Amino acid sequence: MNNSKMTNFIIAAVLILFAAFSRLIPHPMNFAPVAAIALFAAVYMDKKYAFILPIAAMLLSDLFIGFYAGIEWVYGAFALVALIGLWLKKRVETKQGLSKAGYIAGTTLVSSIVFFAVTNFGVWLSGMMYEMNLKGLIECYTLAIPFFRNSLGGDLFYVTAMFGIYELISRFSRTAELKEAKIRK
């Protein structure tokens, strides 16, 4: 691994560990960093980490928080978010400024919606809380709207923090490398 890739990996790993730890501290329900981890890992790290890191962060924190019914829907939703992140990576590699930020914001919104749709479908499908008909499905999604607000808020907050901090550090690092190269000449 070359020096630049190693630096990027270290920066990404630190941000992801911080985000995973934040799932363990008190926070509003569903205001968590895991979707941001999936998107971030997909965009800035090797493809394999897009799936491994969010699931590893979930497993690690679930060891402390506890496992729960419907976990397969939650983990599956994060795998879909990682796929969305891989789509995003192809779009932002050539973009700059507002265009790049627009893709990231739009993908964050789509990821929140996918997570909401998949996990709440799993809750409804379990048959434990809602009638197994269209009325029950609508009721499940309707009653989950407050959780969606928190998920969306958390996703937007953590994506902004992770992508923003990473971009600032990367820009600072590139500037320092350019200055060092000029000095060597």
- pLDDT single digits (tens) 99-135: 888 999 999 999 999 999 999 999 999 999 999 999 9
Report the b/e string of 141-154 with b at 16+ CB within 10 A.
Answer: beebeebbebbbeb
Short-list 38, 59, 56, CA closest to 159: 38
Q: How many helices (H) and strands (E) does the chain have?
A: 7, 0
pLDDT the model gives residue 133: 97
Domains of the chain are: 3-184 (1.10.1760)
pLDDT the model gives residue 1: 62
Kindly tell me if the per-residue pLDDT of 178 is higher than 70. Answer: no
Q: Give mean pLDDT, residues 32-40.
A: 92
pLDDT the model gives residue 174: 72
Measured CA to CA, the distance from residue 16 to residue 36 in angstroms comes to 9
**Total number of residues shown for the chain:** 185
pLDDT tens sequence across 148-168: 999 999 999 999 998 998 888
Q: Give mean pLDDT, residues 130-145.
A: 97
